[in-house]
Structure formats: structure tokens, C-alpha cells
Amino acid sequence: MLDPILVALGLLVGVVVGLTGVGGGALLTPLLIVVAGVRPTLAVGTDLAFAALTKAVGAGLHLRGGSVDLPLTARLAAGSVPGVLLGTQLVAHWERASGLAAQDGVARLLALALLAAALASLARVCGLGALALAGREPGRLLPVGLGFGVGLTVGVTSIGAGSLLMAVLALLYTLPPRRAVGTDIVHGALLAAVGAVAHGLDGRVDPAMLASLLAGSLPGICLGSRLCLWLPSRPLSVGIAALLALSGVQLLLR
């Protein structure tokens, strides 16, 4: 049976994603911990499975539409896939060795990732792109290193595949907005799928919880997509950044 609380959380996250295009993982994981009382490591794994399924549809659409920088995606994935696998193994080892202490540790790392995501969101709103505008296009190895850092963060906290990477793309590359979004979604879908499988093999994905979240998020995304035609995007993005920061502070203080 579907859990009404989880369905409501999925609906809320779906509306936000439909309105702004960001915030899914960064909002869902802390909501699962603070509101639904899910243990942090299980929240991370289930959120990655949620992200993999929801982003797969968008990834397919962007691939068919040709709005993906495939060479850049491949270089990012060359670093991020090993990074997310290492992150999930670190969580597994930490959980086996420390038990409840690992849950507190993951929650604190998640809080720091949320604060970083909030700053990244504000950077996107402010249109930061100084390096790209100055003509300092990064070399081929830099995306691999950036991908590794993002993948490691995603493996431990489930955050970073969208919010952090989009800020990096805006800062370092001169990609058109639609191509940047497509690249981010395709890379994020791949990264979330790898992380979800790795966490799931260690029992950190709850299928029943996932079903309830999807039942709420799918209509929520449709609703948010319609509302975004009427609501201004910049104030919404600033509000999401503030919400991410508040969530991070809440987790630090719990």
C-alpha cells in the first residue's frame, strides 16, 4: 500500500522539479530524514533510485532531440562513475564499522552538500560564467576530475548530480542553456542509476518507499510544469536556494 506521507513528499518534490528543473535530490533526501524519519543511508539510496527513474525519461527526450554534449558527458562520466562507486562503498564500510554513528556522519555530510548546492543555485541565478566568458575553456582532463568529485558526493549524499554540476557547467563552459540542461540530465541519470544499483545491492533502497514517492512525484512534475508558465523563475530559484540552505542547517542542528 502507498504511504500517504511519502506520496505527499513526492508530490511536493515533483512540483518543485516541474517549476524549476532542479531540487529533486537536494530536497527529497532531507525531507525523508526530517519529515518521514528515514535513516540517512536508506534515504540516500532510495533517493538515487528515484532520481534514476525520473531522469531517465528526460534523458531519452534530450538524446532524441540532440541537446546533449556527448563528448563532455563521456568525460564527466569517466570520473563520476568511479567516484559514485567509491562513495557507496565508503558508506557501506562506514555503516558496517560504525552503525548509528555512520547515520549521523552521513547526515552531516548531507548538510554540507546542501549548503554547497544552495550556493551553486545562487551562482546560477546570478549568471556566473566568468571563466567561460573570459575564454578560458577548460582542458579535457578537468571534467574527469570534476566528475569524480561530483560522483563521490552523490555516492555519499545523493546530492550533486544536478545542482552542483549545473553550476560547474555554467561557470566553465559556454554551452547553450538547453544543451547544458540536456548534458546535466543525461549524466545525472547515468550517475543516479549506477549509485542506485550500488546502494541497492547493500540493501539501502526501499522499493515500497520508492513506489509511494513516484506515485506523488509524477503528477507533481506535470503540475509544476504547467505552473512554471505563470510564475517567474528567478524568485523561485532564489527560494529553492534558501530552502536548501535551511535544510542543511536543520540537519546540522538535529
What is the reported pLDDT for 135? Answer: 52
Q: Does residue 49 register a pLDDT over 80?
A: yes
What is the reported pLDDT for 213? Answer: 93
| pLDDT average, residue stretch 35-47 | 91
User: Is-contact 221 16, C-beta < 8 A?
Assistant: no
Cell 550517475 belongs to residue? 191
pLDDT band of 164, cuts 50, 70, 90: confident
Enumerate the H helices of 99-141 as residue ranges.
100-125, 130-133
| pLDDT average, residue stretch 175-203 | 87
For the segment 202-211, what is each residue's pLDDT rounded down to a tens digit? 999 999 999 9
| pLDDT average, residue stretch 167-178 | 74
What is the reported pLDDT for 55? Answer: 81
Burial of 128 (0-12, 13-18, 19+ CB in 10 A): middle
| pLDDT average, residue stretch 192-199 | 94
| pLDDT average, residue stretch 190-197 | 93
Q: Which domain holds residue 92?
A: 4-253
**Structural domains counted in the chain:** 1
What is the reported pLDDT for 136? Answer: 58
SS3 of 185, please?
helix
12 or 253, which is more confident?
Answer: 12
Q: Report the predicted TM-score, pTM, of the whole model to 2 decimal places.
A: 0.83
Which of left, alpha, beta for 175 (phi over 0: left; psi -120 to 50: alpha)? Answer: beta
25 or 196, which is more confident?
Answer: 196
| pLDDT average, residue stretch 157-180 | 76
Distance in angstroms (rounded) separating the CA atoms of residues 143 and 16: 28
Residues 6+ apart with CB under 8 A from 168: 120, 146, 150
Across the chain, what does the average pLDDT equal?
82
For the segment 102-118, what is each residue's pLDDT rounded down to a tens digit? 788 888 888 888 888 77
